[in-house]
Structure 1
């Protein structure tokens, strides 16, 4: 386990991390990784999610209550801003922000409604903007911090029916680079992780017929001939907030087994 950047009290001690979409497959792995490294983790996810149960399970594994579930909806940007303000008031700010939450919109261009398009942009990229804007001033005051945006291999192209989703992830890439430039002088590093095909509930949602067929399709595309896990993505995120990546900012880290090499 890598040691986080700016760590003066031992690995993760007294450091705080906010993870959106924290109760999902990738989010759970990210929250667990930071929790076991000693961070206090604030897991944001829908009120209807299994967030409370997932947080309790992670805390039980850690032997200490370090994960707090924050119910909320990324589609409600005003509500999200209020949540961030409350965190600032109660916790004095976050050291790490992981913008992981999102929705996966599927459909040919002509069939996508305006509301579906707007919802996808709001949840997948608008929420990341709101949280980055709200939390970065306190990071400046604390002497630095890290923001990691979770993107997708979908942005590389090659798939039909993914225009709103790919567009939202492209916005995250622009956000990553622009924030890295603007916040760098304040010792705030901003990077992105772009996962490939990771076995999660979202993957299973779109491939319900044959897991073997799906595995064959993915392994044929990848250079590395094994399936990834959510932990592979969580490890990449943790690397990008650790001192081992202290000279990396504005970067999109591909974690896809050599499927796409951009």
Structure 2
């Protein structure tokens, strides 16, 4: 149980600490004297603005150039789509950040800054190897959902290089081959099973599918949400099955808000280690 708590605490560190931006009050400026005009102030470029926001809010965990530290991975090399998805519809228990909490302009600036940096040859890993493995599994799944085969391969290479377990390494190599062959959906299933097994043994497949359904629903991808709920229902029983039926019924009538709320309740109620 303690391992899972560390893992879920790590997900917000990896993504939220790099991308959550505090609104800053503008400094007061003196008014020009009557009859005079103020010189035009050049607007900061998105990259410059993003760097300023990053330096103030993210550098302590991810390094001054987003190169990564022992408590958080490096950020360059991740696509804009993946960064945005992790902010708006994150994996794990990290809360989503709405536009009222983080404006599109602010997010654009941070994305522009991260994209302007050269990709790192390798990530600085968190101190706990099990946590690092779990993180790369989550990031590979996120990349596959965004159809970003390049980033998915990047994280699979990390898993293959870090895996001490022979079976896990073999499965990671199989998943990598699926990605290289363009079979991203099959690879997503394989990586999901790996995450629910060796990388995070306290998380079962049922819980993983509920989390992925919630992420998909938050992204307004109802087809993907239904897909994961169908996988969940195939193994669910008792009250889990009743709750799953409720979610699907809410989706059928178009009440995505209540369906998401029901999924949140399921994530909080489901036991670990199925």
TM-score by structure 1 length? 0.30
Higher strand share: 1
Higher helix share: 2
* Higher gyration radius (CA): 2
Higher RCO by CA contacts (8 Å cutoff, separation 6 or greater): 1
